[in-house]
Amino acid sequence: MWQTDFTYLKVIGWGWFYLSTILDDFSRYIVGWKLCTNMKVGDVTDTLNIALAASGCDSVKVEHKPRLLSDNGGCYIAEDLADWLKDRKMEQLHGAPGHPQTQGKIERWHQTLKTGSCSKITSSPSTLKLRSVHSSTITTTADTTRASAISRRQRSTSAEEMKS
């Protein structure tokens, strides 16, 4: 399953930009992202094309393509996106309205991105893109390591409980 969302980023002297991101739910790696000037269906499909190419899902026969988990933003509930996904044999799930925890992993990644490298004063979109690339590499690696450590702790705790 892939989680997707947009986040807002302010670039001094340039205005607002929107980062469209797709995160693999299992590995927590960012498989596709695009810095956009708006939040339209075309931006979502462009980001999905990037993710499909990066994952290899567009060039090999895949029995089950990743399902897409999104919120209920206008670009995610649009009929054009539903048709695009249907053409590519992809399913879409929507989070419950008013319940951002459903997409908690991508929301957390966006928060880390904003409080990390993108919290510095950004003077141009190209600087923002460079910081986004750098953050996606560092943050996803740290998240994967953290997730592995938690998983190991849970396994050892359950094994100890079983002995008691």
* pLDDT tens, residue by residue, 45-62: 999 999 999 998 888 887
Asked if 117 contacts 135 with a C-beta cutoff of 8 angstroms, the reply is yes
User: pTM for this one?
Assistant: 0.71
pLDDT in tens, 80-99: 999 999 999 999 999 988 88
Of 43, 6, 44, 9, which is closest to residue 127 (Cα–Cα)? Answer: 9
Domains of the chain: 2-103+113-163 (3.30.420.10)
Residue with tokens 């895949």: 62
pLDDT in tens, 104-162: 899 898 888 888 765 555 566 676 665 655 554 433 444 443 333 333 333 333 334 43
Residue with tokens 């938690």: 150
Number of H helices, E strands in the chain: 5, 5
Written as six digits, the tokens of 37 are: 């000037």
Written as six digits, the tokens of 163 are: 């002995």
Tell me what percent of the residues of the chain surpass a pLDDT of 90.
47
Written as six digits, the tokens of 42 are: 């075309």
Rounded Cα distance between 45 and 43, Å, is: 6
Tell me how far the alpha carbon of residue 65 is from its chain's centroid.
16
Asked if 93 contacts 99 with a C-beta cutoff of 8 angstroms, the reply is no
